[in-house]
Amino acid sequence: MQTLAQLKKGELTGTTHLQLAESLTQFPREIFTLADTLEVLDLSNNQLTELPADLSRLSKLRILFCSNNQFTRLPDGLGVCESLEMVGFKHNQINEVPDTSLPENLRWLILTDNCIKTLPESLGDLERLQKLALSGNQLTHLPNAIARCKNLELLRIASNQLAEFPYLLFSLPRLAWLAFANNPFCDARDEHTEFKTLKSSQFEWQEVLGQGASGVISRAINLVPSESLASEVAIKVFKGEVTSDGSPEDELDACLSAGEHPNLVTPLAKIFDNSMSALVMSLIPSNYSNLGQPPSLETCTRDTFTQGQSFSIEQIQNILNQVDSVMAHLKSKRISHGDLYAHNMLLHPDGHLLFGDFGAASKYDCLPIYQQHGIQRIEQRAMTHFIEDMLGLCIEDDKQTDTYYDLKRRMFNIR
């Protein structure tokens, strides 16, 4: 992270990425000295309420983050910033999104955890929009113009005030990753009395194994081991904040509703005490590794993979068979995972796969049958992308096999 003092001294001349977090209440005009080079500007974690009307002077600016500030209105000046492709205003107090605030070349818009009740019809003019995060607002409906966002692939509308499922979403030809839990049209969360509720004092926390937007996973020692609960477990403590995917409470509900499957991390119990909400799970052996990496700013909605990563067509078929089995299981439970990605999967050297992260999951048993089928088609599109990603990792010698071509045909048949 850089400092405002460095900027004022001219020490940041030529920089392409600027991050300032110093409780700023005003936009530092010195930023314009970087107009010829600046591509990424991160002003998150300040106290800003507005941006300058001439922000478009930053002619190369592609990415703007202003999360955790005090904006009540998405700034009008954004709309004339022709180079902007990604805008993030998570966790502000925004209650107004003017027509003039949406850059026409926008690919990725994050407005999570604000106070937005309506969106402008000009949203439909964003022909390049691929990713839209709206969870944790007060939306009662989506604009009809969203049907024109033909390139929209990922949408998060969980934890809003939508009285009915937005049927217009079924007309979006590329929508593949959708989260919609915790809206008035959804059923109430289950109590899951089939799982024991335990005290945190029963466990001795050890090292952190991983963390994400919704919580922190740690290894823990169970001080009261039993037949149903091993001496070593993993515990995910939820942060309690609305994430881009939705509410941690809905993640817990979906994970427990999914229950057991050979390719899912096994949920064992719940923890609710001392204002803590947590999930006790089976401990995953350390020799499992991530199948993929999250999307980058460039790939937007598509996973990334480590350089040189490859699989034989037999390994790919084995991975796909396991994912098919998980998705069939979730379909039988009427659960949409909403985040079918390789980066949410762990792979063992022997080929066994574990699928996790229910942060974007939504239960849809309460919806009419035709809407259930529409949601299932959206999940199938995500599977299409996953197949494509896996085939992209296929070793060259196996790209002429019958199995490879069968999977290619399956991919296009789903589309």
Q: For the stretch 102-112, what's the b/e string if a residue is b when 16 or more beta carbons lie within 10 angstroms of its beta carbon?
A: bbeebbbbbbb
The mean pLDDT of 6-13, rounded to a whole number, is: 93
Annotated ligand binding at 399? The verdict is no
pTM: 0.95
3-state class (DSSP) for residue 56: helix
Q: What is the pLDDT of residue 214?
A: 84
204-241: pLDDT as tens digits:
999 999 887 788 999 999 998 887 888 999 999 988 78
Checking if the pLDDT of 1 tops 90, the result is: no
248-283: pLDDT as tens digits:
899 999 999 999 999 999 999 999 887 788 999 999
How is residue 266 written in tokens? 């096994």
3-state class (DSSP) for residue 397: helix
Average pLDDT across the chain, whole number = 94
Burial class (CB in 10 A: 0-12, 13-18, 19+), 291: buried
Q: Which CATH architecture has domain 196-282?
A: 2-Layer Sandwich (3.30)
Q: How many CB atoms lie within 10 A of CB 15?
A: 16
In the chain, where are the structural domains located?
196-282, 289-414
How is residue 140 written in tokens? 């009662």
Q: In what order do the strands lie in the sheet with 289-290?
A: 289-290, 345-347, 353-355
Question: What is the Cα–Cα distance from 171 to 165, expressed in whole angstroms?
Answer: 13
> Are the C-beta atoms of residues 81 and 63 closer than 8 Å to each other?
no
Q: Which CATH architecture has domain 289-414?
A: Orthogonal Bundle (1.10)
Tokens 């792979």 locate to: 347
Checking if the pLDDT of 415 tops 80, the result is: no
